[in-house]
């Protein structure tokens, strides 16, 4: 196979299982085994889909009985995102279809915002109303005063609509509340973002370092499978987590770090790797910029120095560094995913990127591979009008390296301020539960109060739908076509989602809604295909496939065009950075007035009697979107607050006792949450799974079950480099005497 002349590692451009009945027993079969069932039963037909329960988007099959019942969903063996196995949530996706609390009619608000009082409306009435209001508001304030918040498949079509309308203010919480800092950090270091799925070569790694990345609870499918296989093949895992996570239980080294001190640990690792000459000398000499500056920068950051900050024994820090170095370059210091923690997150992620560079893992087998993506062409449409202003105008000079729209920025810029040039008047919210998703709820509600129009597209009655002027019910992924999934993987892979059932009630797919709105706004030219099938077929034809073929196979793989999954030592590589090298010293950060190399700054400590609020994932749930799912509530129907035994003793707390939590700003959780006394959390923190404590009473299973971490996240530490919202600087205390709601 030929090789590209110039390799730029992926220049995407800046721009029913309780997780194994036993926690400590963990083989792939424990987690996925019972779901590896790709067979077609005699009485069923299989319809291709990809999962919408999270953004790994595993491709699978919906099995439907002759009488039209959706029996189960299984993985597609040809899909590298899942290898034929769905995670518990994907299997439980059927519950999303059967959930009797679903939205099935367009709704128009009848009293104050937030009171959740609606009347049913016809689609014509709802869409006519939205189009008329959008126009009126745009005539007064300009089309740019329309913002779209979106997370999920339909976003493509609503995004297209918004661009056609004259606004590019399209934000997703997966940037500034999630991956943003790592994308900017890796871009400034390697000239390439990470993207999703992450191109981590876990399959072939010898050492996987997880820094607050709780794979095994964070169930990103193929990654968890590869990690499990790697362990079976003798790879070592190093986990840095203040909590004894599932991953920690599988680790050779668990570093129970004091929260908020990771940069100190990373700097001391860099110190050891450099000072003890454990770095990849050839790789660094040939490919990296700024080694001498870095060496000088870290000279005092010894493990002894880090011990005083992180509480980790110097020998443990050294041993872990030796373990990485011994495995290099087949080592991955995992970039994580939800990395918006303390406001200095881009710099922490830079330290992660630098460590990978020193170990020579970028572009190497067992480190990071060069992903391939098969892009489908966009359908030719008229050029978009050029927006007169953007969300950026509301933040002059701020967040210079933000390469995507900040969802929190759209929210902030909705609240009028004397020094601000951009106040949004219309929000379209598709598939994101902003009330629970954005930190600082009071701010979100203040912004919502300012709006002239709030349209929410969702499948379920959620906290955000309660505030809508108009709610548009989307049918579930089981009942619709969507855009073709393009996955960044070792090979280019496309996957089809098509309907296996008629939409419930009056629910409709996003494509239909976006097109109908476009027509009403006089933008029909942008949606020339009445049927999405014709659009998908046209796109597939351009890459030698067709809708008909995809309907049969579900997943199509494309051989790599070039033999450049890994870099060869002899390859001359120009990285997409200012210097063309991997930048240990970031010229881009320096040019923008930021520290060119990561610096540790202490963060506030919990006041006496308070504990740091730590949160994360459970294997059987995704954010707030699954907490009412009948299948998944069977597995877990409320969250608990993890409390260290010493702390529990000092408060007289017992297992299974309900408490309310109060944060540093006096915010008290709406609902009580069950205490789980466990050694697995440090004494300075408590932990809970995000996604519970729903206040919408229309959620018959989820309402009032458990507590919402989001409600307690009022202190937000914003990353000055790219605007990410650090959410882990909140502290809570216990209220044991409270009135039942």
Binding site for ligand MGD (CB under 6 A): 52, 54-55, 151-152, 154, 173-174, 177-178, 211-214, 218-220, 240-243, 245, 257, 259-260, 262, 336-338, 341, 430-433, 436-437, 457-460, 462, 474, 476-477, 614-619, 621-625, 687, 690, 709-710, 713, 727-728
Instruction: Please tell me whether residue 56 binds ligand SF4 under the rule CB under 6 A.
Output: yes
Cα–Cα distances in angstroms (integers) from residue 588 to residues 347, 582, 595, 599, in the given order = 13, 12, 10, 16
Binding ligand SF4 by CB under 6 A: which of 9, 17, 51, 699?
51
Partner interacting with residue 86 (select from Mo ion, ligand SF4, ligand MGD, none; CB below 5-8 Å by kind): ligand SF4
Instruction: Please tell me whether residue 278 binds Mo ion under the rule CB under 5 A.
Output: no
Read off the tokens for 409: 């920025």
Angle at 670 between CA 667 and CA 674, to 5 degrees: 105
Sheet architecture: strand order including 331-333: 253-255, 236-240, 207-211, 331-333
Cα–Cα distances in angstroms (integers) from residue 612 to residues 365, 587, 688, in the given order = 38, 35, 11
C-beta closer to Mo ion: residue 439 or 509: 439
C-beta closer to ligand SF4: residue 159 or 619: 619
Rounded to a whole number of angstroms, the minimum distance from the CB of residue 85 to ligand SF4 is: 8
Name the residue number minimizing CB distance to ligand MGD. Answer: 212
The region of 14-22, 174-182, 419-427, 605-613 touching Mo ion under the rule CB under 5 A is 174-182
φ/ψ bin of 489: left (φ > 0), alpha (ψ from -120 to 50), beta (otherwise): beta
C-beta closer to Mo ion: residue 220 or 660: 220
Distance in angstroms (rounded) separating the CA atoms of residues 719 and 403: 13
Angle at 306 between CA 304 and CA 311, to 5 degrees: 95
Please tell me the total number of residues recorded for the chain in this structure. 741
Binding Mo ion by CB under 5 A: which of 31, 54, 178, 435?
178
C-beta closer to ligand MGD: residue 238 or 325: 238
Instruction: Please tell me whether residue 87 binds ligand SF4 under the rule CB under 6 A.
Output: yes
Assign 170 to helix, strand or coil: strand
Where is 673: in which H helix or E strand?
A: strand 673-677
Partner interacting with residue 556 (select from ligand SF4, ligand MGD, Mo ion, none; CB below 5-8 Å by kind): none
For residue 126, the tally of other CB atoms under 10 A from its CB is 24
C-beta closer to ligand MGD: residue 60 or 619: 619
C-beta closer to Mo ion: residue 338 or 705: 338
User: In 276-313, where does DSSP find H-type helix?
Assistant: 281-287, 291-297, 303-310
Distance in angstroms (rounded) separating the CA atoms of residues 79 and 465: 34
Angle at 71 between CA 67 and CA 74, to 5 degrees: 140
Partner interacting with residue 402 (select from Mo ion, ligand MGD, ligand SF4, none; CB below 5-8 Å by kind): none
> What does the per-residue mask of binding to Mo ion show for 196-235, with x meaning CB under 5 A?
----------------------------------------
C-beta closer to ligand MGD: residue 545 or 708: 708
Instruction: Please tell me whether residue 673 binds ligand SF4 under the rule CB under 6 A.
Output: no
Rounded to a whole number of angstroms, the minimum distance from the CB of residue 59 to ligand SF4 is: 9
> What does the per-residue mask of binding to Mo ion show for 300-339, with x meaning CB under 5 A?
--------------------------------------x-
Partner interacting with residue 221 (select from ligand SF4, ligand MGD, Mo ion, none; CB below 5-8 Å by kind): ligand SF4
φ/ψ of residue 635, rounded to 5:
-85, -35
Distance in angstroms (rounded) separating the CA atoms of residues 471 and 273: 55
The region of 213-221, 286-294, 441-449, 611-619 touching ligand SF4 under the rule CB under 6 A is 213-221
Partner interacting with residue 460 (select from Mo ion, ligand SF4, ligand MGD, none; CB below 5-8 Å by kind): ligand MGD
The region of 82-90, 177-185, 195-203, 511-519 touching Mo ion under the rule CB under 5 A is 177-185
Rounded to a whole number of angstroms, the minimum distance from the CB of residue 487 to ligand SF4 is: 11
Q: 286 exposed, middle or buried (CB, 10 Å; 0-12, 13-18, 19+)?
A: middle
For residue 239, the tally of other CB atoms under 10 A from its CB is 30
Cα–Cα distances in angstroms (integers) from residue 508 to residues 119, 137, 192, 475, 637, in the given order = 18, 26, 38, 5, 29
Read off the tokens for 104: 């099935």
C-beta closer to ligand MGD: residue 284 or 429: 429
Where is 356: in which H helix or E strand?
A: helix 345-359
C-beta closer to ligand MGD: residue 58 or 288: 58
Q: What is the dihedral of CA 689, 694, 699, 703, to 10 degrees?
A: 90
Angle at 73 between CA 68 and CA 78, to 5 degrees: 125
The region of 51-59, 107-115, 476-484, 601-609 touching ligand SF4 under the rule CB under 6 A is 51-59
**Chain centroid, CA 86 distance in Å:** 18
Distance in angstroms (rounded) separating the CA atoms of residues 466 and 454: 11
Rounded to a whole number of angstroms, the minimum distance from the CB of residue 338 to Mo ion is: 5
Read off the tokens for 85: 């196995």
Rounded to a whole number of angstroms, the minimum distance from the CB of residue 194 to Mo ion is: 13
C-beta closer to ligand MGD: residue 438 or 523: 438
C-beta closer to ligand MGD: residue 236 or 624: 624
Nearest to 671 by CA among 651, 694, 690, 655: 694
Instruction: Give residue for tokens 């189960």.
Output: 72
The region of 56-64, 176-184, 321-329, 382-390 touching ligand SF4 under the rule CB under 6 A is 56-64
Instruction: Please tell me whether residue 247 binds ligand SF4 under the rule CB under 6 A.
Output: no
Binding ligand SF4 by CB under 6 A: which of 89, 334, 337, 485?
89
Rounded to a whole number of angstroms, the minimum distance from the CB of residue 521 to Mo ion is: 32
Rounded to a whole number of angstroms, the minimum distance from the CB of residue 141 to ligand MGD is: 26
Instruction: Please tell me whether residue 349 binds ligand SF4 under the rule CB under 6 A.
Output: no
Number of alpha carbons in the 13 Å side-chain half-sphere of residue 226: 23
Partner interacting with residue 190 (select from Mo ion, ligand SF4, ligand MGD, none; CB below 5-8 Å by kind): none
Distance in angstroms (rounded) separating the CA atoms of residues 251 and 236: 7
Distance in angstroms (rounded) separating the CA atoms of residues 321 and 316: 9
Asked if residue 422 lies in contact with residue 437, where contact means CB atoms within 8 angstroms, the answer is no
Q: How many residues touch ligand SF4 (CB under 6 A)?
A: 14
Binding site for ligand SF4 (CB under 6 A): 51, 53-54, 56-58, 82, 86-87, 89-90, 219-221
Binding site for Mo ion (CB under 5 A): 178, 338
């Amino acid at each position: 196979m030929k090789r590209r002349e110039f390799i730029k590692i992926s220049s995407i451009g800046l721009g029913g299982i309780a997780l194994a009945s036993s926690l400590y027993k963990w083989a792939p079969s424990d987690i996925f085994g019972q779901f590896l069932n790709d067979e077609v039963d005699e009485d069923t037909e299989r319809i291709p889909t990809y999962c919408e329960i999270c953004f790994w988007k595993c491709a699978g099959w919906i099995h439907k009985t002759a009488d039209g019942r959706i029996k189960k969903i299984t993985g597609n063996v040809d899909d590298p995102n899942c290898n034929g196995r769905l995670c518990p949530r994907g299997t439980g996706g059927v519950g999303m279809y059967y959930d009797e609390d679903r939205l099935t009619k367009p709704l128009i608000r009848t009293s104050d915002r937030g009171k959740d009082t609606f009347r049913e409306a016809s689609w014509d009435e709802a869409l006519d109303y939205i189009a008329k209001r959008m126009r009126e508001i745009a005539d007064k304030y300009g089309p740019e005063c329309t913002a779209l918040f979106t997370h999920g498949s339909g976003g493509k079509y609503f995004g297209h609509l918004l661009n056609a309308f004259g606004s590019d203010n399209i934000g997703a919480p997966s940037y500034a509340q999630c991956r943003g800092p790592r994308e900017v950090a890796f871009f400034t270091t390697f000239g390439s973002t990470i993207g999703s799925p992450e191109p981590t070569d876990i399959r072939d790694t010898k050492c996987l370092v997880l820094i607050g990345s709780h794979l095994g609870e964070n169930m990103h499918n193929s990654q968890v499978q590869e990690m499990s296989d790697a362990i079976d093949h003798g790879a070592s895992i190093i986990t840095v987590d203040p909590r004894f996570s599932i991953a920690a239980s599988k680790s050779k080294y668990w570093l129970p770090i004091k929260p908020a001190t990771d940069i100190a640990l990373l700097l001391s690792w860099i110190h050891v790797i450099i000072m003890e000459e454990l770095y990849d000398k050839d790789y660094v000499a040939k490919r990296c910029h700024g080694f001498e500056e870095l060496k000088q920068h870290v000279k005092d950051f010894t493990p002894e120095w880090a011990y005083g900050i992180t509480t980790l024994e110097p020998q443990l820090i050294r041993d872990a560094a030796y373990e990485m170095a011994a495995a290099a370059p087949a080592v991955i210091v995992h970039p994580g995913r939800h990395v918006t923690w303390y406001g200095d997150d881009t710099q922490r992620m830079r330290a992660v990127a630098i460590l990978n560079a020193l170990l020579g893992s970028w572009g190497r087998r067992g480190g990071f591979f060069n992903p391939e993506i098969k892009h489908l062409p966009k359908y030719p449409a008229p050029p978009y009008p050029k927006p007169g202003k953007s969300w950026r105008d509301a933040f002059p000079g701020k967040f210079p390296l933000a390469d995507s729209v900040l969802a929190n920025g759209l929210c902030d810029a909705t609240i009028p301020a004397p020094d601000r040039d951009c106040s949004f008047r219309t929000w379209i919210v598709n598939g994101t539960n902003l009330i629970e998703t954005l930190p600082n709820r009071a701010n979100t509600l203040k912004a919502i109060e300012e709006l002239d129009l709030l349209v929410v597209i969702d499948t379920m009655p959620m906290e955000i739908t309660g505030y809508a002027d108009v709610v548009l019910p989307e049918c579930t992924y089981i009942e619709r076509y969507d855009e073709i999934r393009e996955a960044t993987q070792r090979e280019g892979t496309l996957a089809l989602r098509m309907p296996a059932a008629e939409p419930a009630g009056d629910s409709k797919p996003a494509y239909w809604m976006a097109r109908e709105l476009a027509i009403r706004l006089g933008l029909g030219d942008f949606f020339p295909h009445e049927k999405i099938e014709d659009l998908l077929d046209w796109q597939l034809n351009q890459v030698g496939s067709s809708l008909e073929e995809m309907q049969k196979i579900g997943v199509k793989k494309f051989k790599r065009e070039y033999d450049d999954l890994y870099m060869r030592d002899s390859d001359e590589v120009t990285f997409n950075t200012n210097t063309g090298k991997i930048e240990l010293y970031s010229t881009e950060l320096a040019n923008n007035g930021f520290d060119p190399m990561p610096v540790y700054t202490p963060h506030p400590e919990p006041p006496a009697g308070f504990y740091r609020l730590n949160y994360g994932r459970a294997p059987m749930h995704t954010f707030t979107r699954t907490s009412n799912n009948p299948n998944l509530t069977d597995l877990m129907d409320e969250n608990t607050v993890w409390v260290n035994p010493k702390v529990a003793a000092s408060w007289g707390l017992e297992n299974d006792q309900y408490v309310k939590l109060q944060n540093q700003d006096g915010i008290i959780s709406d609902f009580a949450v069950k205490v789980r006394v466990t050694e697995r959390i440090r004494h300075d923190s408590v932990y809970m799974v995000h996604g519970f404590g729903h206040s919408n009473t229309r959620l018959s299973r989820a309402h009032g079950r458990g507590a919402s971490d989001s409600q307690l996240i009022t202190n937000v530490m914003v990353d000055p480099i790219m605007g990410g919202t650090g959410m882990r600087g909140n502290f809570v205390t216990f209220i044991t005497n409270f009135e039942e709601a």
